Amino acid sequence: MMIFPTIELQNGRCVSLGRGRLDEPALWHVDPIKTARGFAEAGAEWMHLTDLDAIDGKTGNEALVADIIRAAGIPVQLAGGFRTKERVERWIDQGAGRIVIGTMAAREPQLVRTLAQMYADQIVLAVDVYQGQLMTDGWRTAAAITPEAFLHAFDDLPLAGIIVTDIESDASEPTQEAELSVITSLAALTRHPVIASGVVRTEDDVARLKYVKSVSGALVGRALFRKTIDIARALEVARPEQEKTAAFI
């Protein structure tokens, strides 16, 4: 299973959101570029980066995002505010390994189909679910389409993967055990690799996800900054176990 260590940026700083609210960030006093490099040094093969300000159309983080992409040492999966074809193309040109699209896919599905065909294996679909509803606009608006129908609408495309976020689990208390049912049930409906989001707080969560056949990866962000999980250990737990082979004499 692939672990995607995750940075969320707001006003140029690393943050985590309280209950998914943009106005309630927890601020982490770390350097974003050094943090990204640390992920690579620990052995991560990819990282995930969300520009929270871009969700509201703000561009203040763009220079920092570009610096992280150049300096990280591993490919960057970039999310946050992708509403136009031009913005997707610009960030792919600037070196983003993958672009995560959610709201635009709900509003302009044909455009996203075009982008997925233009950039095979570089577009990731974001499926954010709250109480059975598909959410858009940074988790603030319920879409008219169901999560299941949303998945089905894009299942024939050459997507790089699908990020499924269980918003209720993400917003729950950190001491609560993460609930995997939303992610596992939706993952079973698609042929694409599914990346779980919002459910990793400890190594045990990584171990549980590792054995869910339809889940191929997980975003790990807040738990790294809270130090309830270590990135090197998470990567080790997520690695496939070597099959035992018989010794022949």
Q: Which residues are catalytic?
A: 8, 128
Amino acid sitting at position 69: I
Name the residue among 73, 74, 119, 68 with its Cα closest to residue 93. Answer: 119
Please, what is the end-to-end C-alpha distance for the chain in angstroms?
34
The neighbour count for residue 202, using CB atoms within 10 Å, is 17
Do the beta carbons of residue 114 and residue 91 sit within 8 Å?
Answer: no
Burial 218-249 (b: 16+ CB within 10 A, else e): bbbbbbbbeeebebeebbebbeeeeeeeeeee
Phi, psi of 90 (to 5 degrees): -65, -40
Q: What is the DSSP letter of 158?
A: -
Q: What is the DSSP string of 106-138?
A: HH-HHHHHHHHHHTTTTEEEEEEEETTEEEETT
